[in-house]
Amino acid sequence: MGETNAVTSGSKQVWIVAGALLVGSVLLGPLVQIGSFLGPTGGILATFLSVFSIALFAIGSDRSSSVTAKRPLGTGALIALGVWMTISSFVRGLATIPAAVETFLSFGYIDLLIQFVLAAIATTQIARAGIVARPWNLAPLWVVAVTAASWVVQQIIVVAAGSNVSLFIPIIVILDGWVRVVGPVFLGIVAIALASRESAVAAGVREQES
């Protein structure tokens, strides 16, 4: 199974745009919560930016700009993750309805499981595709692993705290929020940096040939 780290000019545009959208989707959340100027529309917009970013990474402009090399398993897992995130966002929006609170709690665990499985498949395929330069091809896998570890730590805190769990809520919220923000921002910055570096290398090669 041959590997290549070559990135075309199409990749440069796609990865920079996709990375910027991923970072923007994360930064939009706190702005909406602080300003409340977009209301529910802000959450929908943030999800749309994230899903669109995932689609760009999966499909790219050609095979060399698809982080999964357009292989069916990895590409399908990324697209499915984006679709599921859209469904999840809609269902979570219904959590404000009193009658739906209990159902939402059950859905939360199902949501986590599905997102984890799809993300694990997608990131493993990205690592194996050979499109993203090493060691950054493992970056999405790192984020999934850290996110999973964070969730396990949160559950341990809840179980260990018992009836005093309310005292640890701020720690759980901070830990969860930190992972949700840092992971996507890290991946977005890595994508932008890799695309910019490959573009600079390609420009240098063209200059030497001319």
Closest CA to 63 of 21, 22, 128, 8: 8
Residues whose CB falls within 8 Å of the CB of residue 27, separated by 6 or more in sequence, listed in order: 185
pLDDT attached to residue 6 = 45
What pLDDT shows up at residue 201? 63
Q: What is the pLDDT of residue 204?
A: 61
Q: What is the pLDDT of residue 122?
A: 95
- In the prediction, which pLDDT does 2 show? 41
* Count of C-beta atoms within a 10 Å radius of residue 26: 20
Number of C-beta neighbours around residue 183 at 10 A: 20
Average the pLDDT over 92-97 and give the result: 64
The pLDDT score that the predictor gives to residue 138 is: 96
The string of pLDDT tens digits covering residues 24-52 is 888 876 555 544 455 555 667 888 889 99
Check: CB of residue 50 under 8 Å from CB of residue 88: no
Query: Out of 49-58, 163-172, 182-191, which region has the weakest mean confidence (pLDDT)?
Result: 163-172
For 173-209, write each residue's pLDDT tens digit.
888 888 888 999 999 999 999 998 876 666 565 556 5
> Which is more confident, 157 or 117?
117
